Amino acid sequence: MTTQQQTVKVQLVRSPIGCKQDHRDTVRGLGLRKLNSVSELEDTPSVRGMINKISYLVKVL
């Protein structure tokens, strides 16, 4: 029996230029590089916290 991991897709919609360094580090930690890049991640509390921290830069798909 296989259990399917829940995932969440996030897209970088605003540039992290001019933001705090730790917010830029969070963007890189989520695997986002260029504008409009999409990353599919496991839906864990730590990932949710990272998304919440930079919610003004990303969009959840």
CA angle 12, 13, 14 (to 5 degrees): 100
The per-residue pLDDT for 41 is 95
Report whether pLDDT(54) > 60.
yes
Q: Residue 3 — φ and ψ, nearest 5°?
A: -105, 130
Instruction: Using pLDDT thresholds of 50, 70 and 90, give the confidence band for residue 3.
Output: low
Strand partners, 59: 11
Query: Which pTM was predicted?
Result: 0.87
Helix (H, G, I), strand (E, B) or coil at 26: helix
**CATH number of the structural domain 7-60:** 3.30.1390.20
